[in-house]
Amino acid sequence: MTQPTATPDQHTLADVMGWLDERPARGERCLLGITGAPGAGKSTVAEQLAAGLEPDPPVVGMDGYHLAHAHLAELGLVARKGAHYTFDAWGFVSLVRRIAEQGPDEVIYAPRFDRSIEDSIAASIPITFDDRVIIIEGNYLLVDLAPWNELRGLMTRCIYLDLDEEVRLQRLIDRHVEFGKTPDHARRHVAESDQVNARLIEDFRHRADFFVHM
């Protein structure tokens, strides 16, 4: 099916922060999604927004649901790590649903992805009912493929981050080199894996509420 080409209106991070500031004051709970192509700056923006709120909200990353590196090796999928089918997608959707439906006495623990070991650490991020803003970041929050397509209805609002392509690609290459790839391997991985993922993510950016050019 052909995807619409229209994108949401342009916003700034200040616009998003202003919107966030209003929610707890009204007693509302907010699940804010942050998405965009690999290298767009999702984790950085999530940290910036969290630092601007009091108290600091929990930041839940989709990367905590990467399939274990050893399991990806068994499946022959290490080269495509980061593709939408290399995550425990149902597990991540279930987590976000639990957060959206959280009761007063329930504490939810989310995993955290550690790039230094290329694997997830379970039960690292506590989320309580008193947390009025929860930031959720990841590549596939808007993708309209099962089960990812259940996420949009669970989030209050979602930001799509856009970054100049040349800057984004160089950022990805530098990241891969930092974590052990040679420059040639890094460039090849970006071209053959990250960019494939980016095209899928970009196809669904029209489903965002805020479109922020970085």
SS (H, E, C) the chain: CCCCCCCCCEECHHHHHHHHHHHHHCCCCEEEEEEECCCCCHHHHHHHHHHCCCCCCCEEEHHHHECCHHHHHHHCCHHHCCCHHHECHHHHHHHHHHHHCCCCCCCEEEEEEECCCCEEEEEEEEECCCCCEEEEECCCCCCCCCCHHHCCCCCCEEEEEECCHHHHHHHHHHHHHHCCCCHHHHHHHHHHHHHHHHHHHHCCHHHCCEEEEC
pLDDT of residue 2: 43
pLDDT of residue 42: 97
Q: Which of 10-24, 71-85, 129-143 has the lowest mean pLDDT?
A: 10-24
What gap in Å lies between CA 45 and CA 38, rounded to an integer?
A: 13
- Does residue 3 have a pLDDT over 60? no
pLDDT of residue 160: 97
- pLDDT by residue (tens digit) across 8-40? 679 999 999 988 888 766 778 999 999 999 999
Query: Where is mean pLDDT largest: 23-27, 78-82, 166-170?
Result: 166-170
- Does residue 44 have a pLDDT over 50? yes
pLDDT of residue 185: 95
What phi and psi values does residue 189 have, to the nearest 5 degrees?
-65, -40
**Cβ atoms within 10 Å of 161's Cβ, excluding its own:** 25
What pTM did the predictor assign? Answer: 0.92
pLDDT of residue 125: 97
CA 117 to chain centre: 19
- Does residue 123 have a pLDDT over 50? yes
- Does residue 133 have a pLDDT over 60? yes
Domains and CATH numbers, the chain: 10-213 (3.40.50.300)
What mean pLDDT is predicted for residues 107-121? 90
**Cβ atoms within 10 Å of 99's Cβ, excluding its own:** 22
- Does residue 198 have a pLDDT over 80? yes
CA 148 to chain centre: 12
pLDDT of residue 1: 42
- pLDDT by residue (tens digit) across 144-161? 999 999 999 999 999 999
